Structure 1
Amino acid sequence: MNWSEFKNQLVQHPDLHLQFQFGENQFVHPSFHITEIKQNAITSVDCGGKMNAWTEIILQLWEPSQKETPRSMKASKALQIIDVVEKSLPLNPNVTVKIEFGNDTFDTRQMHPQDFQFSEDDIIVNLIADKTQCKAIDRGETCGTPKQKVKLAEVTAGCCTPESGCC
């Protein structure tokens, strides 16, 4: 999901309470804060020696230690925070958005908004785990070696290890 799609859901439902579900029946506590919004330009070189570049927007959530708020912020409040950020940092509407969250029982990680569920009072953002990927495999290569030279079982068992034979 890109930033524009995410933000448009908030714009369309400003009076709904915003909730984030990070696991089955696991929600970010309603007292959460949006602590920052980051726009990261990433440049990398993959195991096949190819340079890659992309940008991501990361919306960071934080649960305070005192969790007294029974209701989460409304989408309109999140949009006010987004407006403050966008006055200083123009956010690219076409890049992937991730939600960064962690608490005492859930290690901090970045997750993708998968979809939105709506009720009379709430907009629930369902989050799914971010996964690593091998860009060389996506190009039909494995660690700089054409895919057909390395068996798929070797790739999945240990890409880029001495045992795989691809590096």
Structure 2
Amino acid sequence: MTHTRMTWQAFRSQLEKYPEQILQFQYAADKLVAPSYHITEIKQAPITSVDCGGKINTWTEIIVQLWEPEQPQTSRAMAVNKALKIVDLVEKNIDLHPNAVVKIEFGNAAFDTRQLYPGEFLLEGENLVVNLQPDATQCKATDRGATCGTPKKQTMEAAESCTPGGGCC
């Protein structure tokens, strides 16, 4: 599944359009983060990697971490303008890269912690619901037209014979 990744600038712009709405995050079908969630931190992570073809890749991610307290403290989620106040506080201390990829980090007792991408922003009554989407692993070399040395449907035997520098992922 290919997913368009949202930049920090686009994410913030979406929030700024709806300051009075109640900010909700949907992490799975019909599953919202509990309304007592907190935005515990916003991290900026510069990434440098080397792919299986030996190419260096760099990008920046901004990770917004959500936490559900064990004892719910409220039955109503925070307003978008409160979330923007947290963003402003962070941006007073860190120059967040406007073109960085945004991820939302979340987990609870029923959902293993992971980083999800913001997808659609849906207006539902007083709520602004950010629909979170999972990511999938990928071979960056295929983005450059490489076949990674394997046919489209790789067999387990072929995967086990792949060696570093051998041209496959």
TM-score with structure 1 length normalisation?
Answer: 0.89
2:161 alignment partner, SS class:
helix
**1:128 and 2:133 aligned:** yes
Tell me the alpha carbon deviations over residues 107-152 of structure 1, each in whole angstroms, 9 at most, x when there is no partner.
0000001110002311000001011110011112244x5xxxx422
Residue 3 of structure 2 is matched in structure 1 by: none
CA distance in 1, matches of 2:134, 2:65: 15
CA distance in 2, matches of 1:47, 1:158: 18
State the Cα RMSD in Å.
1.9
1:48 CA displacement: 1.1
Structure 2 regions of 5+ residues with no counterpart?
1-5
CA distance in 1, matches of 2:48, 2:100: 15
1:160 CA displacement: 8.0
1:92 CA displacement: 1.0
CA distance in 1, matches of 2:44, 2:98: 11
8 Å Cα contact 2:46/2:58 also seen in 1: yes
**1:163 and 2:161 aligned:** yes
The aligned amino acid for 1:67 is: P
Which of 55, 61, 80 matches 1:50?
A: 55
8 Å Cα contact 1:18/1:74 also seen in 2: yes
1:141 alignment partner, SS class:
coil
CA distance in 2, matches of 1:158, 1:88: 48
* Identity %, equivalent residues: 53
1:115 alignment partner, SS class:
strand
1:163 CA displacement: 3.2
8 Å Cα contact 2:53/2:167 also seen in 1: no
The aligned amino acid for 2:160 is: P
1:35 CA displacement: 0.4
1:26 CA displacement: 0.5
CA distance in 1, matches of 2:95, 2:151: 45
TM-score with structure 2 length normalisation?
Answer: 0.88
Which of 21, 29, 37 matches 1:32?
A: 37
Structure 1 regions of 5+ residues with no counterpart?
none
CA distance in 2, matches of 1:73, 1:160: 50
CA distance in 1, matches of 2:96, 2:119: 20
Q: 1:160 to 1:72 in 2, by over 3 A?
A: farther
The aligned amino acid for 2:159 is: T
Alignment of 1:105-124 (within 5 A): 105-124=110-129
Residue 69 of structure 2 is matched in structure 1 by: 64
| Structure ranking higher in helix proportion | 1
